[in-house]
Structure 1
């Protein structure tokens, strides 16, 4: 997204030569009036809000794209000069066009997981001020959530050890106090740590003999190699390969998911 944002800014700046101050004519990359290729630009977008992510000119009516680059943006009647015989015109039909999400650290997949997980966030976004509250939230989730019943898993998202009264992560023993039959994965607010109960550790194939993976840590009980339930970075990411149920494109469980493999919640 940063690259596209720079392209938008460059196109806006080319409009007047004074930087991205506004649109007085058709904006182009490199010069106020760039040469239109034979046949026109490859793509034109209009017909809906187009957000530039540039505070100086946050919205335009149309965008022209050629050879993978934004070559013009501005008012529709001005960008239309880029339309030629070879141009594909995309009518947004009222939908919003924004720069693509090209950030590899965006955690977009976590947004979907959060939507079906127990809310472990601290106040004001959740009720969890300590480990006892986390336990209560997870118990309630297991007892009432159709997602938990369908997945035969209990995911929780958003706890923050720095904002818990104990100032630490929950342990496998504390999550075992919620359930020893249902795998529980409590995901840290950062998305880079998780606390698992014993059933989830078993499902993830993590034991005292499991070495720390490169780029990750399996935290251990004091004076022991036995995992205490907290997984850092690649230890957590690797565990998810064994813990995530298979989902259909519509978000429902598929035929080879975990339903039926565990006792009822």
Structure 2
């Protein structure tokens, strides 16, 4: 006997536009997209049916601009997710990550946003030096176009990142922008097994959000 649906959505407008108006679902899997006069074959004794009354329904989303590995590295905790945190919470989250890493191991946080803080001021090298004097550490702003480094991280970056000029590399403030920032993140990428784990984590995140196809903006990784 074939699999039956837990849930049937019927009498809707299935996007992208097609003749089908119904979707049959079992658990976290779509069984079929079909016409309402066909979908009933997948109904069982316990199937819930919802009449959409013409409302639109999308079986899956396509995200046209995704940084897939970056999301995956946050998802598995290799990068510290700083999204929505205050300045003090940001430093506390980074401090916990430093404690869990080996001596001299890079810690990268991502997602801080000074516009959400009471004092809308960027993180600086001074902030990170005072909190983290001994470990290489960087904090990527929420837009992904800038990273702030502490003194130890800046010293390491000087040998990893080509000279892009003072507009992209400001050692005084510990700031790398655009290509300088992206080059550094590529040079300190984790090992292949961690990248594979990150890719799986990113896929799970996409599935939870209903994203079924992506166009990743990430450059080629190992």
8 Å Cα contact 2:103/2:135 also seen in 1: no
TM-score by length of 1: 0.49
Residue 254 (structure 1) aligns with:
none
Alignment deviations for residues 89-126 of structure 1 (CA, whole Å, 9 cap, x no partner): xxxxxxxx9547452x222322222231334333xxx3
Rounded to whole Å, the distance in 2 between the matches of 1:134 and 1:159 is: 7
Structure 1 unmatched ranges of 5 or more: 1-6, 16-21, 28-45, 52-59, 64-72, 81-96, 221-225, 252-265
8 Å Cα contact 1:50/1:62 also seen in 2: no
Structure 2 unmatched ranges of 5 or more: 1-13, 42-57, 199-222
Deviation, structure 1 residue 77: 4.5
Greater RCO, 1 or 2 (C-alpha within 8 Å, sep 6+):
2
Within the candidate set 168, 188, 192, 2:121 is matched to: 168
Within the candidate set 56, 62, 83, 1:121 is matched to: 83
8 Å Cα contact 1:212/1:235 also seen in 2: no
Residue 62 (structure 1) aligns with:
32
Within the candidate set 190, 193, 199, 2:152 is matched to: 199
RMSD: 4.0
Q: Name the SS of the counterpart of 2:190 in structure 1.
A: coil
Name the count of aligned residue pairs. 166
Rounded to whole Å, the distance in 2 between the matches of 1:191 and 1:228 is: 17
Residue 245 (structure 1) aligns with:
190
Rounded to whole Å, the distance in 2 between the matches of 1:158 and 1:74 is: 44
User: In 2 relative to 1, CA 10–142 (structure 1 residues): closer, same or farther, beyond 3 Å?
Assistant: same
Point out the structure with the larger helix share. Answer: 2
Deviation, structure 1 residue 205: 2.8
1:9 matched to 2:9? The reply is: no
Deviation, structure 1 residue 159: 1.1
User: In 2 relative to 1, CA 207–99 (structure 1 residues): closer, same or farther, beyond 3 Å?
Assistant: closer
Alignment deviations for residues 130-187 of structure 1 (CA, whole Å, 9 cap, x no partner): 3x543333223312x3xx3399221222210112333122122221222233111112
Matches of residues 198-237 of structure 1 in structure 2 within 5 Å?
198-205=151-158, 210-212=163-165, 217-218=167-168, 220=170, 226-237=171-182
Q: Looking at CA atoms only, which structure, 1 or 2, has the larger radius of gyration? A: 1
Residue 108 (structure 1) aligns with:
68
Q: Name the SS of the counterpart of 2:93 in structure 1.
A: helix
8 Å Cα contact 2:136/2:156 also seen in 1: yes
Rounded to whole Å, the distance in 2 between the matches of 1:98 and 1:150 is: 47
Q: Name the SS of the counterpart of 1:204 in structure 2.
A: helix
Deviation, structure 1 residue 250: 3.9
1:137 matched to 2:99? The reply is: no
User: In 2 relative to 1, CA 192–185 (structure 1 residues): closer, same or farther, beyond 3 Å?
Assistant: same
